[in-house]
Amino acid sequence: MLGERGAAFAIAQTRLGGGRLHHAMRTLAQATRAFEMTCERVLSRTTKGELLAEKQMVQEKIADAWVQLRQFRLLVLETA
């Protein structure tokens, strides 16, 4: 038996802590890349004669995504 009886959960949580942070950082990087790709896409596509980037709802969705991405980044940073 490793550790004391009944301490397995605490030991497992301690061991997994760094892994969770690593996964969160990787997820943040992937989400940032997806956001950048979205921004490139709306600047290159047109609908009804104007860029998608000029549509108000598209701008709102991108702004919301940016805010959520920044919130996630700050949460990961605070956790680290």
* Domain boundaries defined on the chain: 24-79
Q: Do 71 and 77 meet the contact criterion of CB atoms below 8 Å apart?
A: no
Partners of 46 in the beta sheet? 51
Cα(73)–Cα(21) distance, integer angstroms? 11
pLDDT at 44: 97
For the residues 68-80, what does the mean pLDDT come to? 94
Cα(54)–Cα(10) distance, integer angstroms? 52
For the residues 31-55, what does the mean pLDDT come to? 96
- On the 0-12 / 13-18 / 19+ scale of CB atoms within 10 A, 15 is exposed
The CATH architecture one would assign to domain 24-79 is Up-down Bundle (1.20)
pLDDT at 58 over 70: yes
pLDDT at 69 over 70: yes
The pTM assigned to this predicted structure is 0.78
